[in-house]
Amino acid sequence: MSAGKALAIGAISGLRSASGPAFVGRAASRGDMDLEGTYLAFLGRPRLSKALTLAQLGETVGDKLPATPSRTGWPPLLGRAVSGGLAGAAVFLSEGGRATTGAILGSSAAVAAAFAGENLRALVVSASGLPDVGVAVAEDAVVLVVGSRATSKAVR
């Protein structure tokens, strides 16, 4: 089940770069994800978890601003790949797996989701006439549902 979780958490990192680490941090801090004794245990520290959540909220707002750059430009895309890789590695480590496998899956999913999300959002806006902000809010909902499910203790 680690592969599916790493892909899911990586994909949401491709849509909102701070989301993967924020969900992992919250899950680790509440005990739903065991990172103790790993080099990523710091993600579960309460202060960092709260800071990551604030970053996620800030990005959610910032995504709606007209000056926000494309998520598929090199700097934002690289950030999403790193974010997805970090979150994917944490998922694998928490279940006793190899961090490199999780990092590759999470990073790959983040890059793929960044392109897919940007193109799908543009397509929905042009085909439906809905405002971009409305479609972006729907994208936020997807991030929240997928992130919650991927990091919930009940999902194994």
State the pLDDT at residue 153. Answer: 78
Around Cβ 121, how many Cβ atoms within 10 Å?
17
Around Cβ 38, how many Cβ atoms within 10 Å?
18
Domain limits, the chain: 2-151
State the pLDDT at residue 94. Answer: 96
Of 72, 107, 108, which is closest to residue 87 (Cα–Cα)?
107
For the segment 87-140, what is each residue's pLDDT rounded down to a tens digit? 999 999 999 999 999 999 999 999 999 999 999 999 999 999 999 999 999 999
Q: Please, is 11 exposed, middle or buried when counting C-beta atoms within 10 Å of its C-beta (0-12, 13-18, 19+)?
A: buried
Q: What is the C-alpha to C-alpha distance for residues 11 and 116, in angstroms, rounded to an integer? A: 10
- pTM here is 0.95
Q: What is the C-alpha to C-alpha distance for residues 129 and 100, in angstroms, rounded to an integer? A: 42
For the segment 57-72, what is each residue's pLDDT rounded down to a tens digit? 999 999 999 999 999 9
